[in-house]
Structure 1
Amino acid sequence: MLHNCQPPTTLLNRWLSGAANVNGDYGHLLFEQATPNDEAVLDGLRPYFESAHLDAREVFHRAARIDLHPDADGPGGNAQYPNCLPPTAKKGLFGEVMAGLITEAFQFVGGHRWSIPIFLFRYHAEVEAYIFDLARDPARVREISGRHGNDFIGLGIDPESGEVVRYIAGEAKWRAALTPSVMDTIMLGDYTGPPDNRIRANDGVWNEMNRGLPTPQGLEQIHKLLCEKARDAYAEVIVSLDRALLIGAAPLQRTDLVFVAGNRAARRQPGDAYLPLNAPPPEYTAGRQLQVVELVLEGGVELIERLYASLWSNR
């Protein structure tokens, strides 16, 4: 199943307040929670999250030989994806889905229109193995490492030709306590070196952005899934990706996205941004169009747990 749910823009405009800055090829968006995380927020987010996870849900349930909609007490009912995942994994997924949701809902640097025909969550072998084991032994609860590759990819599709002319590749991070020092660790890596000469390891998000390939594997994965699921509807997209994915071919234009979400720190004042507002930092050297998004929530951990517990529940 392709991702086919539009972002809940009415909810977003009520739930979040935003401030935008754009300077040339750099954009910064700050979203701060404006209303409580009530049932209306859960109801508004749920369809998009179910759509984002449905492809992986079908794949993982089929591989584990459990029903997509098992009874609560049926065999494998404890191992439904993504509800059954440990808290840390669900927080990571929340950040990735919210990155895609905001990408589709709001205008970013360059004014491009982005489409996410499918999320790539099925390409997470550790989750597939986890669900297979958990369905057969409910005691096998454990933490799961993150999925390799870009956290999400969106396509810029020309409305006239139907071809892909650009893509956006994103890194999404969630932190329960988002402080300036935590943000520095996300972006620059942990401190390393001797106690009297500590420096950042430079293995954070900025380094990941700089090392991003002009044509990442995620584009190949999207191409494969579109061929499998919607060859006719996305014929021009598939052909244009075919050309771009050839080794040595001219790559598509790429926009980078950094999305960081977390709970408001106690000392954080309304309007405070922890990432640069008007230009990328010197640590970002890729030279591409860059969009930065900060999402500041209240009670985000509880929201994530409630939201993921409610997906595909009997309502």
Structure 2
Amino acid sequence: MEAIRRWLSANGTVRGTYGHLLLEQRAETDDDLVAAMRPYFESAHLDAREYFHRQIAIDLHPDAGAPGAHACYPNCLPPTARRGLFGEVMAGMITEAFQRNFVGGHTWRIPIFLFRYHADVEAYLWSLAREPEREREIFGRFGSDFIGLSLNGEGEVVRFIAGEAKWRGRLTESAVGTLMHGPWEEDEETGERTRSGRGVWFEVNRDSPVPHGLRQLQRLLELRDPDGFQATILSIDRAVLLDAAPLPRTNLVLIAGNGARNREASDVLIGWEATPEEYTAPHDLQVVELILTDGTDLIDGLYSTLWQEER
């Protein structure tokens, strides 16, 4: 966390139930930064790695040249998929590292990531392990990109944060407009171009009060640490009942990528003065803009070295 705070400058504001945090890269990506971030990324992907490797019948840490060694998760995934995973892990890391800057002042914990629930990754790895030439792009995972919890002194969930994390190689106004509001569509009769309205705002606004990801997280805690999270598991069990009162919720929207070429320092792409009018959900909203200068180098440096013996 200390390395992250040295790497990024933070400029945050909170207006009632809306928070905006601008994170800008202020130090170069180097081997020390990659080494500092690697344990967090390995921890974030460990559950999925163990699960996928069992499913596709390869060792957790296969020797070089062993059957299936080329299909290790997440190193073998295509670049687009790894960039998506990077955004999701960063959503968790930023939530924990900069929670004092977040709306509500809650204490957040990300006990486990939901990566094992990515069905197309499992299908991809199964084929790739058996036919190395079967490389292809991967469909995204459905549901929340990550879930974080706020726990009371007894370990019960009192609030959760559900995140949407999006990576774009270049964060231009046009790219973010498409991301948040959907692609342009042209009316066949008038020729008028309008946004489809099916972007991030649409997905966040229509999400159910208790997302499926909360149940998925509970199931993972039951598998991984049922004793350590006993109170957490029981409180989620009560919260997902159909007639239960909804848990208090915070929504997180993270957009990450390299800044536009003509970008000036402190420029933002989503307004910070007031809650965006496109946001209509009743929950607190936290927006994070992660503006990097060499983000692709960082992603490649991280994912190419996860679980490598020689560091």
- Normalised by the length of structure 1, the TM-score is 0.95
The gaps in structure 2 that reach 5 residues or longer are none
1:85 is aligned to: 77
Task: State the distance in 1 between where 2:40 and 2:83 align.
Answer: 16
Matched residue count: 306
Deviations 1:34-73 (A, max 9, x none): 1111001100110000000000000000011101111121
* One-letter amino acid matched to 2:292: L
Deviation beyond 4 Å, 4+ runs, structure 1: none
Which residue does the alignment assign to 2:309? 314
Moved more, 79-88 or 187-196: 187-196
The answer for the alignment partner of 2:289 in structure 1 is 294
Question: How many angstroms does 1:287 deviate by?
Answer: 2.4
Q: Report if aligned partners of 1:27, 1:292 keep a CA contact under 8 Å in 2.
A: yes
* 2:172 alignment counterpart: 179
Match of 1:168 among 161, 177, 184: 161
Q: Within the alignment, does 1:190 sit opposite 2:183 as a pair?
A: yes
Query: Are the counterparts in 2 of residues 26 and 278 from structure 1 also a CA contact under 8 Å?
Result: no
**Superimposed CA distance per residue, residues 82-115 of structure 1 (whole angstroms, 9 cap, x where no aligned partner):** 0000000000000000000000111210000111
**Alignment partner, residue 156 of structure 1:** 150
- Measured in 2, the distance between the counterparts of 1:111 and 1:174 equals 26
Query: Matches of 2:123 and 2:175 in 1, distance apart?
Result: 31
Q: Please, which runs of 5 or more residues in structure 1 have no aligned partner?
A: 1-8
Confirm or deny: 8 A CA contact 1:177 1:264 kept in the other structure.
yes
Q: CA deviation at 1:231?
A: 1.4
Counterpart of 2:27 in structure 1 is: 35
Matches within 5 A, 1:1-315: 9-107=1-99, 108-158=102-152, 160-194=153-187, 196-315=191-310
Q: In the TM superposition, what is the alpha-carbon distance from 1:278 to its structure 2 partner?
A: 2.0
SS at match of 1:122: helix
Contact 1:120 1:222 in 2 (8 A): yes
> Percent of counterpart pairs with the same letter?
57
The one-letter code sitting in structure 1 at the alignment partner of 2:131 is D
Q: Residue type of the partner of 2:77?
A: L
Q: CA deviation at 1:193?
A: 2.6
Distance in 1 separating the partners of 2:202 and 2:113: 24
Amino acid at match of 1:288: H
Alpha-carbon shift at residue 161 of structure 1 (Å): 2.2
User: Following the alignment from structure 1 to structure 2, what is the Cα–Cα distance between the partners of residues 240 and 206?
Assistant: 29
Contact 1:27 1:278 survives alignment (8 Å) = no
